[in-house]
Chains A and B, each alone.
Chain A
Amino acid sequence: MNLHEYQAKEILRRHGVPIPDGEIATTADAAEALAAKYAVPVMVKAQVHVGGRGKAGGVKYCATPAIAREKAAAILGMDIKGLTVEKVLVTIAEDIGSEAYVGIIVDRATKKPVFMVSAAGGIDIEEVAASTPEKIRYHPVDPRYGLRVFEAMELGFFLYDDVKQARAAARIMQQLYAAFIESGCSLAEINPLVVTPTGKVVAVDGKMVIDDNELERLPAIEALRDDSSEDPSEVDARKANLTFIKLDGNVGCVVNGAGLAMATMDLVKYYGGEPANFLDIGGSSNPEKVVNALRIITADKNVKAILFNIFGGITRTDDVANGIVTATKANPLTVPIVIRLTGTNEELAMKILTENGFSASSDMDEAVQKAVALATGGAK
């Protein structure tokens, strides 16, 4: 789960990270009022879950409250990479002397949280990583000790020569690490970490991605979820305990297991079709999950054929068959459906489907070819 910048900053502030004051506004009036309250130049920043907000015109410097009003009016309602901006962060604009990058991810290779820091921070950090990797220092942290002072200082001196600044950065990195652990992050970053002309070290932007597996035990973090920032069909799927990602093709796929789901999509493509989605109904499926899956998939008007690919292990294929029958009785399908079922209780599932006028096969390759042919109007 992604947090908004303002949410990440609130968490970092609680851990002591120096961050310029800021508050959320949902109207131009409110943005103007905040700018007037701060009585210094502010930044108005779109709060949406995409990178490149600045380049899309969603981040503006505003010298006066009147300008803040004008910019907020322009940014609110703006579409950035398919997402509508509903909130802006109005925050005191810092004078920027230098920009550094400080981030932590959980690294698969070392199996540890790893700090990545660079004195060349800012909006082009990906470019820095790609073209001048020597400007980035990687430092794995032993989670049993956390980021120790001497390690933090080493990273601080990698960023700054000045001992005061190095020390301030080291403190911020320890605070960032504490926030990272306590909030169950898979990624946390400050970019840029700024040194102001007066020598203060402050965090001007913050980002946190929470490991979804942590949310059950962190209700306060779960409460920060913003449904309006996600595709409605994905929100719907999440509430139905399905893993769903919407794509642009026309073959709707319902599969059990992430690996098989990806392999099914690949096979659709192999035979000249385009998958409309990734959808994993998970392990212990019940008919209700199938009903929800069909509802979500049929809501996509691009879908021209539906493909079920179920390999029953824990999943009982008769549960899936019952789900298909129930769902299509309530809402008759307007597009053809191709069903492939094999594994646990396969005979029973086939019987249920045949009795209700469906045909099903047990061969994946055959089923995919058939679904692609139906979706492309039999042209293939």
Chain B
Amino acid sequence: MSIFIDNSTTLLIQGITGRDGSFHARQMMEYGTRVVGGVTPGKGGQQFDGTVPIFNTVAQAVAATGANTSVIYVPPPFAADAMMEAAAAGVKLIVCITEGVPVLDMTRVYPYVKEMGARLLGPNCPGLITPGQSKVGIIPGRICKPGPVGVVSRSGTLTYEIVNLLTKAGIGQSTCVGIGGDPINGTNFIDALEAFEADPQTKVVAMMGEIGGTDEQEAAEFVRTRMTKPVVGFIAGQTAPPGRRMGHAGAIISGSAGTAAEKIEAFVAAGMGVAKRPMDFVELVKARL
């Protein structure tokens, strides 16, 4: 078991012929992901690497392949439309890797995708991986191994750091989910925690948050009231100066809401394990397995 993706996932790649799209298409195929089609307007009828059919539109691709998932590697000005196109075509899981999507675009995308009954992950996220089964996005496959830990994070490389530490310590993962650092994203911590709680393979959840906003505090409240499985958390940005943007639009402290101290306090109050350093995850997770 796992959450969101497994070996029944059939994937479309929007922007498959672009620089990033083609590179990661090959990485995903190598990992064993069932890539059933690609979408690049104007290249319909061609094949990617001689094996994957390319379509002009997502609707055509879905009709021909029955894909249930789509991953988006298109440039920021076109990403909002790409997400809505996937939702309109009936894709059930949409993963947007693109970084730099204007937040006002997301105020329109979010309600639409929801209305269409699709789940959106991202934008500005590394995607997700169910080790040994399927990878959608850019998380390096070789640092993961199948196991009992659910991982959910707002960051990319920090997730790799922690997953790598766990794997090296012999602790595998059920699914690793990068929800992305933008202020408006399709899937939040609570969505992932809820799914991990319901997933029989997952025994412990490792969660990496950042300063800014209140998602982590709300997640802590969810852990306290609704979860039976233990959760270990970490907050990046304890030394960040207030009011400064640290690359992620989300990492902005406004007023008192969203400081690292406040979030860690919420974790403690929820009975979660708190990692002070990335390496602390190993012992904290091990103790809860």
What residues make up the interface of A, taking CB atoms closer than 8 Å to B?
106, 108-109, 111-113, 126, 129-130, 142-144, 181, 184-186, 211-214, 216-217, 243, 245, 247, 255-263, 265-270, 275, 278, 280, 283-284, 311-315, 342-344, 364-365
Contact = CB atoms under 8 A, between A and B. Distances in A.
| Interface bin, chain B | 35 or more
Contacts of A106: 103-104, 107, 183-184
Contacts of B140: 312-313, 343-344
Nearest to A245: B244
Contact of B156 (A109, A257, A262): A257
Interface stretch (B8-16, B57-65, B233-241): B233-241
B248 interface: yes
Given A265-B240, A266-B237, A278-B246, A342 B164 contact: yes
A186 B103 contact: yes
Given A106-B183, A259-B156, A111 B107 contact: yes
Contacts of B146: none
Given A266-B236, A267-B277, A311-B157, A280 B247 contact: yes
A142 B126 CA distance: 29
Contact of A130 (B156, B183, B255): B255
Interface string B264-282: 0000000000001111000
7 contacts: A130-B255, A259-B210, A263-B234, A266-B236, A311-B160, A311-B161, A364-B279
Contacts of B101: 213
Contacts of A247: 241
B184 A259 contact: no
A130 B126 CA distance: 37
Contacts of B3: none
Interface string B114-147: 0000000000001000000000001110010000
A37 to B, nearest CB: 38
A270 to B, nearest CB: 6
Interface string B192-213: 0000000000000000101101
Pairs A-B, 8 closest by C-beta atoms: A259-B155, A257-B157, A258-B247, A259-B158, A262-B236, A260-B157, A262-B237, A243-B247
Contacts of A313: 126, 138-140, 156-157, 160
Contacts of B245: 245
Given A108-B250, A343-B160, A266 B238 contact: yes
A260 B184 contact: no
Contacts of A278: 240, 244, 246-247
Which of A106, A257, A313, A343 neighbours the largest number of chain B CB atoms within 10 Å of its CB? Answer: A257
A130 B139 CA distance: 41
B249 interface: yes
Contacts of A267: 277-278
B17 to A, nearest CB: 17
Contact of A262 (B102, B143, B211): B211
Given A111-B107, A275-B239, A259 B181 contact: yes
Interface in B168-187: 181, 183-184
B110 interface: yes
Chain B interface mostly: loop
Contacts of B214: 108-109
Contact of A112 (B99, B107, B159, B240): B107
Chain A interface mostly: mixed
Contact of B155 (A185, A258, A275, A343): A258
A142 B111 CA distance: 9
A216 B77 contact: yes
Which of A142, A256, A364 neighbours the largest number of chain B CB atoms within 10 Å of its CB? Answer: A364
Given A211-B104, A266-B236, 13 more contacts: A143-B108, A213-B102, A216-B76, A257-B155, A259-B158, A259-B181, A260-B155, A263-B161, A266-B237, A269-B239, A314-B138, A343-B160, A364-B161
A210 to B, nearest CB: 10
A108 B183 contact: yes
B106 interface: yes
Contacts of A258: 155, 181, 210, 246-248, 251
B100 interface: yes
Nearest to A129: B255
Contacts of A262: 158, 210-211, 236-240, 246, 251
Contacts of B156: 257, 259-260, 283, 313
B99 A283 contact: yes
Contact of B102 (A184, A260, A284): A184
B154 interface: yes
A212 B255 CA distance: 21
Contact of A217 (B77, B164, B247): B77
Contacts of A314: 20, 138
Contacts of B157: 255-257, 259-260, 311, 313, 315
A266 to B, nearest CB: 5
Contacts of B77: 216-217
B2 interface: no
A378 B251 CA distance: 33
B68 interface: no
A260 B255 contact: no
Nearest to A267: B277
B236 A259 contact: yes
B138 A257 contact: no
B153 interface: yes
